[in-house]
């Protein structure tokens, strides 16, 4: 007794032939298509002080979390880790650099300087610490976005000039991406700062994220450009 399509005579054999042809065509067409693989997320660490970690704010509305969502909304596969420590100066950030930026990190947003300026730290000390941070990250092949900071204007013109020049000069010498002032559009605005006048509210973080986002996109693009095609 015949089995399968063959048991239906000529009609069954015709169906069998057509089916075999369809399977062969599908295999031929599929041979030239790459297998689907999910894009590996770009791992970003936000290395900084209380401005980075969001002092006084819930974690989900602090800068790292909001930046992550903003990049994802743009279609980027990213993971943004918070490595901010309240009160840190640039020197303190340098001291914990290796364990704050784990292996597998693709990019770092460096945000220091506010505490240095508020404490009147010698700009040469701040410059030296940031220079060492950038050198260390470069040695590890990690892409960097350096966020600049400005000194309070009541520190005097010499201090202001010496401090403010640190960030653009280091960004140029190290060839890293640069965002001139982390608190741009937020500093001194009582509507966007908490009662201390220093730390952004959730609305203030929104402004920071919106303004720094194009540079963060450039950072992700640099990482992806280095990956094997």
Average pLDDT over residues 169-188: 98
The answer on 89 and 181 residing in a single domain is yes
Average model confidence (pLDDT) for the chain?
A: 89
Structure letter (DSSP) for residue 144: E
Q: What is the pLDDT of residue 39?
A: 82
| Rounded distance between C-alpha atoms, residue 99 and residue 177, angstroms | 23
From 82, 100, 106, 199, the catalytic residue = 199
The answer on 5 and 86 residing in a single domain is no
- At 56, list the tokens: 């006084």
| Rounded distance between C-alpha atoms, residue 19 and residue 68, angstroms | 49
| Rounded distance between C-alpha atoms, residue 217 and residue 36, angstroms | 24
Average pLDDT over residues 21-37: 42
The answer on 86 and 117 residing in a single domain is yes
Identify the residue whose tokens are 């660490």: 45
Q: What is the pLDDT of residue 38?
A: 67
Is 50's pLDDT higher than 80? yes
State yes or no: is 122 an active-site residue: no
| Rounded distance between C-alpha atoms, residue 57 and residue 208, angstroms | 15
| Confidence bin at 229 (pLDDT 50/70/90) | confident
Is 81's pLDDT higher than 90? yes
| Rounded distance between C-alpha atoms, residue 90 and residue 146, angstroms | 12
State yes or no: is 173 an active-site residue: no
Predicted model pTM: 0.83
The answer on 137 and 80 residing in a single domain is yes
* The length of the chain, given as a count of residues: 229
State yes or no: is 174 an active-site residue: no
Pair 201, 194: CB distance under 8 Å: yes
From 50, 68, 91, 151, the catalytic residue = 50
The answer on 15 and 70 residing in a single domain is no
Is 8's pLDDT higher than 80? no
The answer on 48 and 18 residing in a single domain is no
Domain that holds residue 219: 42-226
Average pLDDT over residues 153-170: 97
| Rounded distance between C-alpha atoms, residue 83 and residue 61, angstroms | 15
- Name the β-bridge partners of 10: none
> How does pLDDT run across 87-107, given as a tens digit for each residue?
999 999 999 999 999 999 999
> How does pLDDT run across 119-144, given as a tens digit for each residue?
999 999 999 999 999 999 999 999 99
Nearest to 219 by CA among 78, 64, 93, 92: 78
The answer on 49 and 2 residing in a single domain is no
**Contacts by residues 28-32 (CB-CB < 8 Å, ≥ 24 positions apart):** none
Q: State the total domains in the chain.
A: 2
Share of the chain above pLDDT 90, in %: 82
The answer on 216 and 166 residing in a single domain is yes
| Confidence bin at 9 (pLDDT 50/70/90) | low
Average pLDDT over residues 143-155: 97
From 3, 7, 196, 229, the catalytic residue = 196
Pair 221, 227: CB distance under 8 Å: no
| Rounded distance between C-alpha atoms, residue 73 and residue 135, angstroms | 32
Average pLDDT over residues 161-172: 98
Pair 217, 74: CB distance under 8 Å: yes
The answer on 178 and 159 residing in a single domain is yes
The answer on 177 and 71 residing in a single domain is yes
Nearest to 162 by CA among 117, 195, 193: 117
The rounded Cα 58 to chain-centroid distance in angstroms is: 20
């Amino acid at each position: 007794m015949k089995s399968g399509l063959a048991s239906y005579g000529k009609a069954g054999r015709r169906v069998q032939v057509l089916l075999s042809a369809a399977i062969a065509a599908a295999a031929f067409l599929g041979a030239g298509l790459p297998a689907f693989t999910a894009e590996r997320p770009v791992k970003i660490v936000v290395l900084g002080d209380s401005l980075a970690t969001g002092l006084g704010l819930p974690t989900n509305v602090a800068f790292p979390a909001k930046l992550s969502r903003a990049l994802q909304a743009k279609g980027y596969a990213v993971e943004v880790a918070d490595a901010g420590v309240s009160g840190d100066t640039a020197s303190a950030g340098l001291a914990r650099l290796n364990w704050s930026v784990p292996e597998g990190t693709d990019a770092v947003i460096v945000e220091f300087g506010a505490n240095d300026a508020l404490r009147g730290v010698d700009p040469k000390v701040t410059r030296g610490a940031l220079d060492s941070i950038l050198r260390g990250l470069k040695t590890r092949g990690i892409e960097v976005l350096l966020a600049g900071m400005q000194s309070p204007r009541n520190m005097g013109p010499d201090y202001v000039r010496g401090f403010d020049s640190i960030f653009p000069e280091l960004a140029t010498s190290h060839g890293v991406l640069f965002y001139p002032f982390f608190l741009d559009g937020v500093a001194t605005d009582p509507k966007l700062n908490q009662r201390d006048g220093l730390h952004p509210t959730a609305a203030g973080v929104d402004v920071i994220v919106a303004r720094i986002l194009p540079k963060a996109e450039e950072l992700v693009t640099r990482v992806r450009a280095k990956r094997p095609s």
